[in-house]
Chains A and B, each alone.
Chain A
Amino acid sequence: SQKIEQNSEALNIQEGKTATLTCNYTNYSPAYLQWYRQDPGRGPVFLLLIRENEKEKRKERLKVTFDTTLKQSLFHITASQPADSATYLCALGYGRDDKIIFGKGTRLHILP
């Protein structure tokens, strides 16, 4: 069956370190993958999009990699700050009708 898996355990990272979040998928052939940030009680906010023919994308302190062989995306936040604490969601876009399916998200806590 089709699955998108993100680490369900919360991730605690010391301020200033790099946080790395993982998104694995099975039985999908996504055309692209997106990462979103969600704060409690708010809608997800788009961060980065990476297409199937791209290996890496960067935006300021954020970096995303996409390995279609491993069926995995890694999301990195460098020089992490307490304000980066939130839930991070990965989403796959696939199919001719462009369905966008989300993982359950990983809660990230940056400790001061």
Chain B
Amino acid sequence: DSGVTQTPKHLITATGQRVTLRCSPRSGDLSVYWYQQSLDQGLQFLIQYYNGEERAKGNILERFSAQQFPDLHSELNLSSLELGDSALYFCASSVVNNSPLHFGNGTRLTVT
């Protein structure tokens, strides 16, 4: 058990809708990372937060946004969903930079 909790495990929704994915990092970890994994693209870095502040941005679409709250949990908001957004979304946490990532088991999003 990595100590990182992601909810929900599965999400099925229709195109055009908006969803929120939630992540509770491992106790003591200040950094949260979000990744998208699809079969053909591998793990794509979306965004990173450190202690409530956005630290790095990857290939995150404008339709997607995220935040990290004072209690360090994080949410990833996906809006105007398209079929191509169907993927596994992983959250990972780490104590500080340059340290290993601890991943949750992901949220599987299916857009129909």
Question: Would A43 and B2 count as touching, CB distance under 8 A?
Answer: yes
Point out the residue from B2, B43, B58, B100 that lies within 8 Å of A49, measured CB to CB: B100
Q: Which chain B residues border A42 with CB–CB below 8 Å?
A: 105-106
> Could you give, for residues 51-81 of chain A, a 1 whenever the CB lies within 8 Å of some chain B CB and a 0 otherwise?
1000000000000000000000000000000
Q: Interface size bucket, A side?
A: 20 to 34
A97-B48, A98-B55 known; A44 and B100 CB under 8 Å?
no
**How many residues of B sit at the interface, in one of the four size bands?**
20 to 34
Q: Min CB distance, A81 to chain B, in Å? A: 22
- What is the CB-to-nearest-CB distance from A18 to chain B, in angstroms, rounded to a whole number? 24
A95 and B56 contact, CB distance less than 8 A: yes
Stretch touching chain A among B12-20, B62-70, B90-98: B90-98
Of residues 10 through 43 on chain B, the ones whose CB sits less than 8 Å from some CB of chain A are 33, 35, 41-43
Per-residue CB contact flags for chain B residues 79-99 toward chain A (1 = under 8 Å, else 0) read 000000000001010000111
Which 6 residue pairs are nearest across A and B when measured between Cβ atoms? A43-B103, A104-B42, A97-B56, A46-B100, A102-B43, A98-B97
Interface on B for A, CB 8 Å cutoff?
2, 4, 33, 35, 41-43, 45, 48, 55-56, 58, 90, 92, 97-106
**New A-B pairs, 14, CB < 8 Å, besides A44-B43, A98-B48, A99-B58:** A31-B98, A34-B100, A41-B105, A43-B2, A44-B101, A44-B103, A46-B101, A51-B98, A89-B42, A97-B56, A98-B97, A100-B48, A101-B45, A103-B42
